């Protein structure tokens, strides 16, 4: 049986089993996963969403009404309004007309600031209801149709009265606020000058939210305002005669809240949520939100068909992918069989090539090691040769002085002998003794200088050639090394200064340390101070913690470029390629410091401000075998 047939059979059975399991769970499976469980969950989710919408609309309505109550209260208690009404009653008719017109403009401005909210804004006389001023110039007021409410609003101390009313313009809210007379200090006297009457459109805040209501509840749902007599005052669906909505309105109990599933006429199932709306002194208004359960469950049915179609498409796609994959696997299997037949031969050939490459790499590595050792040895011999040349040049002066003094003494002795043969005078004897003493002094000083140079050179040469580990004072060893480097440094015109504590004692390798110092000074002379008339190389050393010494070699030269700082210790890295630089000087320094002396070295530099090499050396160097 081919692998293609096996794959098709396996994935076909797997996909069929999965589809059957999906349908079984969906239709008859575990309640949370089956249709009934999903329907129950959707019922709960729909009720929660309708409750959330009801709370939102109730809060929106109450906040909207409270904002307009507040602005009406501010207008009725404004001192300017009370002053205007007072002036109307006691002033001449022409002035009263002007004041009435000014008050009408105030009312009109308030109405226009909230378009669609106020049907009318009037100021009327208490008890009679005669219009004193109106936003639209009308001579009648809703207060005249509500004499009982006007009387209540005219009673002293009754600052505001709120009622639900049903006018020819539709259901609304009537708000009456007292305008009280004020004395010269602005304090109310208790006398009622007028009543501010505001007729507010009941459905204004819900009309502005119709789009979001329809999106949340669908075409069959609605948000309704219902009074205490179960009368629908506003319906967002624009149908006040809808049987289902009227049925829901009859279920409203003023002042109560709740959520229920209702069976409306014609077996229509509805989700109904009731919320009480607070309108100040009036508690007659309730909010009812309805949604048909068919709308809530239609999404599940549509999802079922969509999901079924999606599963079918995925099944076909998966089978297509299986067929494609099985063809590819069959082709790859054939290719693998072909490659396996040639695998041993290819492995043997590749192994032979790798062995040959390894041999070549070993030879190359060995040659590189030999070359590196030769370069290091050449670098050491070059340093020692420079040392010998410098010391030889330095010895010329004291030896030449000694030779001159000795030849002068010889001439004086010959002259003294001749003088004795002729007869020696006292003055000639004194002169001979004086000149002899001066010559001997010069001769002794020159010979001592030569002995010091030879001793320093001998110690440095022995250290650099033998690399023995011994105890020494750092200051004395550095001075001996600087003495041998003196001719080389003086020839360049630069200066080397030393500030080293006299009590720093090391148990280490003075030869490698001298080579490090020689290489660092030569590096500063060649790279840092080249082309400068005068420069200074400073050597400082001090103990940093018990058993460790910090040694610094710093110059005031050109410095090191930032891009070169990380590579200065790399082998064969040099900025003087083709000018005699091997690129091994600082690499040798790094290897000696870190391996032979057991310390660390780093470099700090700023272009134009020189470079500083900082060495941390142990006072007791590790015991290692050195060449």
Q: Which helix (H) or strand (E) holds 191?
A: strand 188-201
137: left (phi over 0), alpha (psi -120 to 50) or beta: left
Strand, coil or helix: what is 554? strand
- Taking only the tens place, the pLDDT of each residue in 175-196 is 999 998 888 777 888 888 899 9
Decide: pTM greater than 0.75.
no
CA atoms within 13 A on the CB side of 139: 0
Q: Which residues pair with 171 in a beta bridge?
A: 166
Are 536 and 557 in contact by the 8 Å Cβ rule? The answer is no
> How far apart are the C-alpha atoms of 14 and 321, rounded to whole Å?
14
- Residue 103 has a pLDDT of 84
- Residue 614 has a pLDDT of 95
Over residues 103-114, the mean pLDDT reads 88
Are 160 and 175 in contact by the 8 Å Cβ rule? The answer is yes
Kindly tell me if the per-residue pLDDT of 503 is higher than 80: yes
Over residues 453-465, the mean pLDDT reads 53
> How far apart are the C-alpha atoms of 348 and 353, rounded to whole Å?
9
DSSP letter, residue 593: I
- Residue 3 has a pLDDT of 65
Per mean pLDDT, which range of 346-355, 397-406, 506-515 is the poorest? 397-406
Q: Which long-range contacts (CB under 8 A, 24 or more apart) does 573-578 make?
A: 575/527, 576/526, 576/527
Q: Which long-range contacts (CB under 8 A, 24 or more apart) does 301-309 make?
A: 304/26, 304/35
- Residue 33 has a pLDDT of 47
Spell out the domains of the chain, with CATH numbers in brackets: 77-204 (3.30.450.20), 467-618 (3.30.565.10)
519: CB partners within 8 A, 6+ apart: 383, 585, 586, 588, 589
CA atoms within 13 A on the CB side of 559: 10
612: left (phi over 0), alpha (psi -120 to 50) or beta: beta
> How far apart are the C-alpha atoms of 246 and 230, rounded to whole Å?
8
Over residues 17-23, the mean pLDDT reads 70
Are 496 and 559 in contact by the 8 Å Cβ rule? The answer is no
- Taking only the tens place, the pLDDT of each residue in 510-525 is 888 888 998 899 888 8
> How far apart are the C-alpha atoms of 255 and 277, rounded to whole Å?
8
Are 469 and 509 in contact by the 8 Å Cβ rule? The answer is yes
334: CB partners within 8 A, 6+ apart: none
- Taking only the tens place, the pLDDT of each residue in 347-389 is 878 888 888 888 888 887 787 677 666 665 655 555 555 556 5
> How far apart are the C-alpha atoms of 458 and 450, rounded to whole Å?
12
CA distances from 175 to 76, 153, 228, 483 (A): 11, 9, 18, 111
- Taking only the tens place, the pLDDT of each residue in 55-88 is 988 898 889 889 998 999 998 888 888 888 887 6
- Taking only the tens place, the pLDDT of each residue in 411-420 is 777 777 777 7
Kindly tell me if the per-residue pLDDT of 626 is higher than 50: no
Kindly tell me if the per-residue pLDDT of 435 is higher than 60: yes
> Which comes out higher in pLDDT, residue 6 or 618?
618
Token representation of residue 240: 């006040």
- Give the whole-number percent of the chain exceeding pLDDT 90: 13
Helix axes 293-422, 426-466, angle to 10 degrees: 150
CA distances from 22 to 40, 307, 309 (A): 19, 10, 13
- Give the whole-number percent of the chain exceeding pLDDT 70: 79
Per mean pLDDT, which range of 271-275, 395-399, 406-410, 536-540 is the poorest? 395-399
Are 36 and 304 in contact by the 8 Å Cβ rule? The answer is no
CA distances from 231 to 166, 193, 234, 237, 621 (A): 11, 36, 9, 15, 105
Kindly tell me if the per-residue pLDDT of 30 is higher than 50: no
- Give the β-pairing of 495-500 and 536-545: parallel
Token representation of residue 591: 């290897």
Question: CA nearest 592: which of 534, 515, 521?
Answer: 515
Average pLDDT, the chain: 79
62: left (phi over 0), alpha (psi -120 to 50) or beta: alpha
- Residue 522 has a pLDDT of 87
């Amino acid at each position: 049986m081919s692998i293609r047939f096996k794959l098709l059979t396996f994935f076909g059975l797997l996909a069929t089993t999965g589809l059957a399991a999906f349908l079984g769970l969906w239709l008859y499976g575990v309640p949370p996963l089956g249709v009934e469980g999903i329907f129950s969950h959707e019922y709960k989710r729909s009720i929660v969403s309708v409750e959330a919408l009801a709370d939102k609309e109730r809060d929106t309505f109450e906040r909207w009404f409270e904002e307009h109550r507040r602005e009406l209260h501010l207008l009725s208690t404004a001192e300017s309004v009370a002053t205007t009404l007072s002036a109307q009653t006691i002033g001449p008719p022409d002035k009263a007309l002007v004041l009435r017109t000014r008050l009408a403009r105030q009312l009109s401005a308030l109405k226009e600031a909230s378009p669609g909210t106020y049907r009318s804004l009037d100021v009327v006389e208490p008890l009679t209801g005669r219009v004193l001023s109106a936003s639209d110039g009308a001579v009648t007021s809703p207060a005249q149709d509500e004499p009982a409410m006007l009387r209540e609003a005219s009673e002293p101390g009754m600052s505001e009265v709120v009622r639900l009313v049903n006018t020819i313009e539709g259901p609304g809210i009537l708000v009456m606020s007292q305008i009280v007379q004020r004395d010269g200090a602005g304090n109310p006297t208790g006398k009622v000058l007028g009543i501010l009457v505001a007729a507010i459109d009941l459905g204004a805040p819900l009309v502005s939210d119709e789009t979001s209501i329809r999106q949340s509840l669908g075409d069959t749902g609605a948000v309704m305002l219902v009074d205490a007599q179960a009368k629908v005052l506003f319906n967002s669906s624009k149908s006040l005669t809808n049987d289902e909505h009227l049925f829901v309105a009859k279920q409203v109990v003023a002042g109560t809240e709740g959520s229920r599933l209702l069976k409306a006429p014609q077996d229509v199932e509805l989700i109904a949520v009731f919320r009480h709306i607070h309108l100040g002194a009036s508690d007659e208004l309730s909010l009812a939100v309805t949604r048909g359960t068919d709308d809530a469950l239609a999404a599940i049915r549509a999802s079922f068909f969509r999901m079924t179609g999606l599963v079918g498409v995925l099944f076909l796609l998966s089978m297509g992918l299986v067929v494609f994959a099985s063809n590819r696997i069959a082709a790859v299997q054939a290719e693998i069989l072909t490659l396996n037949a040639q695998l041993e031969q290819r492995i043997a050939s590749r192994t032979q090539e790798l062995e040959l490459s390894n041999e070549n790499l070993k030879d190359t590595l060995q040659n590189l090691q030999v070359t590196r050792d030769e370069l290091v040895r050449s670098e050491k011999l070059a340093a020692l040769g420079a040392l010998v040349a410098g010391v030889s040049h330095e010895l010329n002066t004291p030896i030449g002085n000694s030779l001159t003094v000795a030849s002068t003494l010889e001439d004086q002795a010959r002259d003294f002998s001749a003088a004795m043969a002729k007869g020696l005078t006292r003055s000639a004897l004194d002169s001979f003794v004086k000149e002899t003493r001066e010559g001997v002094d010069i001769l002794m000083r020159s010979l001592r200088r030569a002995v010091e140079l030879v001793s320093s050179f001998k110690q440095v040469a022995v250290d650099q050639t033998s690399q023995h580990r011994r105890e020494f004072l750092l200051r004395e060893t550095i001075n001996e090394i600087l003495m041998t480097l003196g001719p080389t440094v003086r020839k360049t015109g630069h200066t080397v200064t030393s500030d080293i504590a006299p009590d720093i004692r090391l148990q280490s390798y003075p030869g490698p340390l001298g080579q490090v110092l020689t290489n660092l000074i030569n590096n500063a002379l060649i790279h840092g101070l080249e082309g400068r008339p005068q420069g200074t190389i400073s050597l400082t050393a001090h103990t940093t913690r018990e058993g460790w010494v910090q040694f610094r070699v710093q110059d005031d030269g050109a410095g090191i470029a930032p891009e070169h700082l990380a590579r200065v210790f790399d082998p064969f890295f040099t900025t003087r390629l083709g000018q005699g630089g091997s690129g091994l000087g600082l690499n040798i320094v790094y290897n000696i410091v870190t391996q032979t002396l057991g310390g660390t070295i780093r470099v700090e530099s700023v272009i134009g401000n020189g470079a500083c090499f900082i060495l941390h050396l142990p006072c007791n160097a590790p015991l290692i075998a050195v060449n």
